[in-house]
């Protein structure tokens, strides 16, 4: 591959791991990480890092031109809970940002990866075995921007031939960069609190079942989809992908198999609970499996074991005791 890759929002939960994988695959110099935050210290991100606000067309153009970018992995966005707190900013970052990225991709012939979300679904969508092609009427600003984003990506493909691709991720669980303010963040927080304090106060009801995925599977989905021959893709910007689903009570029970004295208290946040209540309990991802061979590797037992191994080995006090 001669042209380089640009990752926006690269310091976030997904980007911090995707950049490392892409650099291992394509070479250190081939991947430019970008964000509106600066990378901490002089780590690997300090090399090959560019400050890029995705809502700024000139900054995007400059970095794409300067580094001869051929593909943009556009991860910069506000997640569901933050977007509900700041809907105007969410519209600006999630929609204007995507529009500018697509415009630059059109001008310079770049491919685009756009991560959509379970947030595209709403209260009228079937919550169990949620179909690939179904009603998309979300009641959150996050969901509105994700549905519009999927449609905009479809439009840039059909109207301008921009090679856009994307998946609808469920809640993602990882032990690296902390999650950025979503409704499914409780699952990551629960692991950290279990290791550090043996106690967790959960902001969702104990029986709230949601689709989830471990980060190595999410990274595998991105890399596999982007490597798939274009003629195989029908649902190019909106593939349902999932790996497992559980409730907070079930996750706590699995963690207790390793940390028997772990306690969870439930104090429901009505805003995030209302969001969770409109999202799928289990998505049907057979279309992704058929079109590009999607197949997750981790289930609840292996995910839990791996998370606890990593967090126990690198325990840092970044959550407050509760
Ligand atoms: P995150 O919140 O952890 O990271 C987002 C990054 O974007 C942050 O580093 C932030 O500084 C940066 N950013 C914010 N505004 C910006 C701007 N104007 N210009 C450039 N950068 C900006 O998010 P994430 O979890 O890594 O998610 C990445 C993408 O994946 C988002 O589109 C999100 O909606 C989607 N997604 C995530 C999940 C999940 O569970 N993490 C699930 C479904 C979809
Ligand atoms: N994990 C994300 C969120 O909760 C789902 O898109 O916002």
Using the predicted structure, report yes or no on whether residue 212 has a pLDDT greater than 90. Answer: yes
Sequence-ordered list of residues with C-beta below 8 angstroms from that of 192, at least 6 positions apart, any chain: 311, 318, 319
Q: Which residue has the tokens 């990866």?
A: 113
Above pLDDT 90, what percent of the chain?
A: 93
pLDDT score, position 2: 86
Is residue 303 assigned to a domain? Answer: yes
CATH number at residue 100: 3.40.50.720
Please indicate whether residue 94, judged by its CB atom, sits closer than 6 Å to ligand 2: no
pLDDT score, position 40: 80
- Host domain of residue 176: 171-212+243-282+297-313
Is residue 191 assigned to a domain? Answer: yes
Is residue 290 assigned to a domain? Answer: no
Please indicate whether residue 119, judged by its CB atom, sits closer than 6 Å to ligand 2: yes
> Do 86 and 232 sit in the same domain of this protein?
yes
Give the distance (Å) from ligand 2 centre to CA of residue 2: 34
Q: Walk across the sheet containing 111-113 and list its strands.
A: 49-51, 31-35, 4-8, 69-74, 111-113, 164-165
CA distances to 25, 181, 194, 243 from 322, in Å: 41, 18, 11, 30
Please indicate whether residue 182, judged by its CB atom, sits closer than 6 Å to ligand 2: yes
Using the predicted structure, report yes or no on whether residue 275 has a pLDDT greater than 50. Answer: yes
Is residue 227 assigned to a domain? Answer: yes
Using the predicted structure, report yes or no on whether residue 320 has a pLDDT greater than 80. Answer: no
Is residue 195 assigned to a domain? Answer: yes
Report pTM: 0.96
Above pLDDT 70, what percent of the chain?
A: 95
Average pLDDT over residues 244-270: 98
Is residue 319 assigned to a domain? Answer: no
> Do 126 and 48 sit in the same domain of this protein?
yes
> Do 267 and 145 sit in the same domain of this protein?
no
Closest-CA residue, ligand 2 atom 5, reads 171
> Do 231 and 264 sit in the same domain of this protein?
no
Return the best residue to mutate from 20, 79, 217, 244 for the ligand 1 pocket (most ligand atoms within 8 A of CB).
79
> Do 116 and 192 sit in the same domain of this protein?
no
> Do 69 and 175 sit in the same domain of this protein?
no
> Do 24 and 161 sit in the same domain of this protein?
yes
**Mind spelling out the 3-state secondary structure of the chain?**
CCCEEEEECCCCCCHHHHHHHHHHHHCHHHEEEEECCCCCCCCHHHCCEEECCCCCHHHHHHHHHHHCEEEEEECCCCCHHHHHHCHHHHHHHHHHHHHHHHHHHHHHCCEEECCEEHHHCCCCCCCEEECCCCCCCCCCHHHHHHHHHHHHHHHHHHHHCCCEECEEECEEECCCCCCCCCCCHHHHHHHHHHHHCCEEEECCCCCCCEEEEEHHHHHHHHHHHHHCCHHHCCCCCCEECCCEEECHHHHHHHHHCCCCCCEEEECCCHHHHHHHCCCCCEECCHHHHHHHCCCCCCCHHHHHHHHHHHHHHCCCCCCCCC
Is residue 288 assigned to a domain? Answer: no
Please indicate whether residue 117, judged by its CB atom, sits closer than 6 Å to ligand 2: yes
Give the distance (Å) from ligand 2 centre to CA of residue 275: 10
Domain count, the chain: 2
**Nearest CA to 6 among 56, 55, 76?**
76
How does pLDDT run across 276-299, given as a tens digit for each residue? 999 999 999 999 999 999 999 999
Please indicate whether residue 75, judged by its CB atom, sits closer than 6 Å to ligand 1: yes
> Do 96 and 16 sit in the same domain of this protein?
yes
- Ligand of minimum distance to the alpha carbon of 121: 2
Using the predicted structure, report yes or no on whether residue 158 has a pLDDT greater than 80. Answer: yes
Please indicate whether residue 280, judged by its CB atom, sits closer than 6 Å to ligand 2: no
Is residue 84 assigned to a domain? Answer: yes
* Ligand 2 atom with the shortest distance to the CA of 169: 6
**Nearest CA to 132 among 5, 4, 285?**
285
Q: Which residue has the tokens 């409730």?
A: 247
CATH number at residue 184: 3.90.25
How does pLDDT run across 41-88, given as a tens digit for each residue? 755 566 799 999 999 999 999 999 999 999 999 999 999 999 999 999
Give the catalytic positions in this structure: 142
Give the distance (Å) from ligand 2 centre to CA of residue 82: 10
> Do 179 and 305 sit in the same domain of this protein?
yes
- Banded pLDDT at 322 (limits 50, 70, 90): very low
> Do 165 and 261 sit in the same domain of this protein?
no
Return the best residue to mutate from 77, 81, 119, 203 for the ligand 2 pocket (most ligand atoms within 8 A of CB).
119
Instruction: Return the higher-pLDDT residue of 275 and 318.
Output: 275
Using the predicted structure, report yes or no on whether residue 1 has a pLDDT greater than 90. Answer: no
Closest-CA residue, ligand 2 atom 6, reads 117
> Do 98 and 226 sit in the same domain of this protein?
yes
């Amino acid at each position: 591959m001669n042209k380089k890759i640009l990752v926006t929002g690269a310091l976030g939960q997904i980007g911090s791991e995707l950049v490392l994988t892409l650099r291992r695959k394509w070479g250190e110099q081939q991947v430019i990480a970008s964000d509106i935050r600066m990378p901490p210290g002089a780590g690997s991100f300090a090399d090959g890092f560019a400050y890029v606000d995705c809502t700024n067309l000139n900054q995007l153009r400059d970095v794409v031109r300067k580094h001869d970018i051929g593909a943009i992995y556009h991860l910069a966005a506000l997640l569901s809970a933050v977007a509900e707190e700041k809907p105007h900013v969410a519209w600006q970052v999630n929609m204007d940002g995507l529009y500018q990225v697509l415009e630059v991709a059109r001008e310079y012939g770049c491919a685009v990866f756009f991560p959509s979300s379970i947030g595209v679904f709403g209260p009228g969508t079937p919550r169990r075995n949620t179909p690939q092609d179904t009603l998309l009427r979300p009641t959150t600003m996050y969901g509105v921007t994700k549905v519009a984003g999927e449609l905009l990506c479809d439009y840039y493909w059909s109207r301008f031939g921009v090679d856009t691709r994307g998946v609808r991720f469920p809640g993602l669980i990882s032990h690296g960069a902390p999650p950025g303010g979503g409704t499914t963040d409780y699952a990551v927080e629960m692991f950290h609190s279990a290791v550090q304090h043996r106690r967790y106060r959960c902001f969702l009801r104990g029986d709230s079942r949601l689709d989830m995925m471990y980060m190595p599977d999410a990274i595998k989905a991105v890399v596999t989809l982007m490597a798939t021959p274009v003629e195989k893709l029908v649902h190019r910007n909106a593939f349902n992908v999932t790996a497992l689903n559980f409730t907070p009570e079930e996750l706590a029970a699995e963690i207790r198999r390793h940390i028997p004295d772990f306690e969870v208290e439930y104090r429901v946040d009505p805003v995030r609970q209302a969001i969770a209540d409109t999202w799928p309990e289990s998505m049907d991802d057979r279309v992704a499996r058929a079109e590009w061979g999607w197949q997750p590797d981790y289930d609840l037992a292996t995910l839990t074991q791996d998370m606890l191994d990593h967090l126990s080995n690198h325990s840092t006090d970044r959550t407050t005791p509760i």
